[in-house]
Chains A and B, each alone.
Chain A
Amino acid sequence: MWRYVVKRLLLLIPVILGAILIISFVLSLSKGSPAEIILGPGFQQEEYDEYNRELGFSDPFFVRYFRYVGNLVKGDFGTSYYNKTSVWSELKARIPISLRTTFMALALAALVGVPLGVLTAVKQYSMFDTIPTAMAMIFAATPVFWLGMLLMFFFAVKLGWFSVLPVGKFKDLILPTLSLGLPHAARQMRFTRSSMLEAIREDYIRTARAKGCKERTVIWHHAVKNALLPVITVIGNSFGAMFGGTVIIEKLFVVNGIGSLMVKGIGNRDVPIVTGCVVIIALVYSLVTMVVDILYAYIDPRTKARFIK
């Protein structure tokens, strides 16, 4: 087992290096050099060139890439173009905020989606199936920011249960969590339902029924256990989508997380900030995917047997 964990940890390194390469390349396509962004207009071309040389921007792309990676290993994410602060100091304060929203939304999605998925599959074609399924179809198609706006309108503007301009209290996290979590709860439910329906039709379920197991034992001990295995992977994947979704939700609810930092960085054409945000998002997402894969290997005896030797 430990060999598998170490192997997965080592695999993270090329993935993160690749992610930095891709994102640096994409952002290097943007118009304007750092000097033009930092100094603003009204300078001679020579002055821009001079400043770019000082920043090391005139070096070839790969030289800059390896320098960035070298600094990153030392924990240096570079310096913001816009307000000259270190990118890490900006990121440090915001990572927990975004993580908290994402994990709360993930918990909501899993706690609502998975049990409903099991219920709808067990009661297929009944009222307990059709109504949640129809609701899930609608929620899965709702844009997170529109759901956020509607929730904000009803609960903050009309009913006044929440403040429109959040100050960072726990209560202020409820609406962002709901708007991020509900569409994913719908996806979670749809996936659990189909996985569960597949499991119910398996031979071992027929065997369990034939040998006289109680219906409850058949469902909870035989079907659910098997059906939830693939669901774990899907929950892990939706973490990434939700973490990316915070970019939009944080802008809507004025939350000071990584997402709003990234949008602000894009507005200011602040390349180090944007790169730093993407690197952190990619790193956290890869770590979560890794943990989910290890968990899967640990829970599923078939996979476990393959790696434990």
Chain B
Amino acid sequence: MAENTANAPVKKKKRKNSKLADTWRLFKKRKTSVLGLIIFSIILFMVLCAPLFVEKSKVEESDWEYLNSPPVAGHPFGTDDLGRDLFARVLYGGRNSLEIGLVSMVCALFMGVVIGSLCGYFGGVLDQIVMRVLDVLKSIPTTVLALAIVAALGGSKTNLILAIMISQTPAQVRLVRSAVIGIAGREYFEAARACGTSTPRIIFKHIVPNCIGTVIIQASMAMAQMILQAASLSFIGLGIQPPEPEWGSMLSGAREFMSSAPWQMIFPGLFIMLSAYSFNLIGDGLRDALDPKLRS
């Protein structure tokens, strides 16, 4: 007992040293978030280390003895109408789906942070112009805007990323802008200015560390949205072009065989859902860990 009480303050001191360890400790408390992290790690491992499970050639290779076959040994997820192995297509297709989600998320977030913080910090004419443009963009639903962009540029991975990035940027700009404006109203910000701190120092020492949490939480939630959006656009036939596999376009192909081969639509959909699900769970955990308002 005495030992315990003696140890406790020392431990506490150690924790204080690292913000990252602190975040991890708070994140870990929420079991569902850890579950999200595990689910995503498994999916990422399966997709990135796909060659460990199945050869890449299987993606486009037809097995004529197994057309529209249900899951059997050798084809754990079954085959499609051309006898292609769905296990291989789901794994290698995941590379496309996750890459689109990840790259467009990073780009949209980058745009959001740059434009949003400039607008929030400097305000004035620039802010007015950007806000009016965002008001206009807000009137077009993101799916419709993304659809129009891919339709104009043509369906390919790069254009899909571009379309999703552009359609999601306004939301990120708004979020970062309001976070920065919130910080600019605080006392420590005024104190820093009163002390004559230079603008870059204020931005990097006071504003960035204080809104980084908001941005990270938003990143993980946005990732889920973008995976879903990429899948929807591919489902309509405007994303990755066949025979290249992608989860959304695989579902589009599976629709025709819904009554005769329902297993074709299970696995791609399950992978989309689980990826989005895991990012939402991770986002919730990060919110608990990073948002000081929720700490008691």
Contacts and interface: CB of A to CB of B under 8 A. Distances in A.
A267 B273 CA distance: 28
A252 interface: yes
Contacts of A244: 141-144
A145 B147 contact: no
Interface in B84-106: none
B232 A145 contact: yes
Contact of A285 (B141, B151, B255, B281): B141
Contact of A141 (B153, B254, B277): B277
A151 B273 CA distance: 15
A146 B135 CA distance: 31
A86 to B, nearest CB: 21
A231 interface: no
Contacts of B237: 267
B20 interface: no
A205 B141 CA distance: 37
Interface string B201-240: 0000000000000000000000010001001100111100
Contact of B236 (A146, A251, A282): A251
Nearest to B149: A26
B251 A145 contact: yes
Contact of A140 (B138, B238, B280): B280
A245 B143 contact: yes
Q: Is the interface of A mostly helix, strand, loop or mixed?
A: helix
Contacts of A21: 136
Interface stretch (A11-19, A46-54, A111-119): A11-19
Nearest to B268: A146
Given A18-B136, A22-B140, A241-B141, A143 B152 contact: no
A93 interface: no
Interface stretch (A27-35, A169-177, A216-224, A294-302): A27-35
Contact of B152 (A29, A153, A267, A277): A29
A138 B258 contact: no
Give chain B's interface secondary structure class.
Answer: helix
B160 interface: no
A81 interface: no
Given A141-B280, A266-B147, A18 B272 contact: no
A289 B259 CA distance: 41
Contact of A248 (B137, B232, B274): B232
Interface in B133-183: 133, 135-145, 147-149, 151-154
B290 interface: no
Interface centre among A18, A149, A240, A285 (most CB of B within 10 A): A149
Interface string A138-177: 1011111110011011000100000010000000000000
A11 to B, nearest CB: 8
A23 B148 contact: yes
Given A137-B281, A142-B273, A19 B139 contact: yes
Contacts of B281: 137
A144 B231 CA distance: 10
B265 interface: yes
Contacts of B153: 29-30
Nearest to B135: A15
A84 to B, nearest CB: 21
A281 B140 contact: yes
Contacts of B139: 15-16, 18-19, 282, 285-286, 289
B276 interface: yes
22 contacts: A18-B136, A21-B136, A22-B136, A26-B145, A26-B149, A30-B152, A30-B154, A138-B273, A140-B276, A141-B273, A143-B273, A145-B251, A146-B251, A146-B265, A152-B258, A241-B143, A247-B144, A274-B148, A274-B151, A281-B141, A289-B138, A289-B139
Given A22-B140, A30-B153, 11 more contacts: A15-B136, A23-B140, A27-B151, A141-B276, A144-B232, A241-B141, A251-B236, A262-B144, A277-B144, A278-B140, A278-B144
Interface of B: 32, 132-133, 135-145, 147-149, 151-154, 224, 228, 231-232, 235-238, 248, 251, 254-255, 258-259, 262, 265, 269, 272-274, 276-277, 280-281
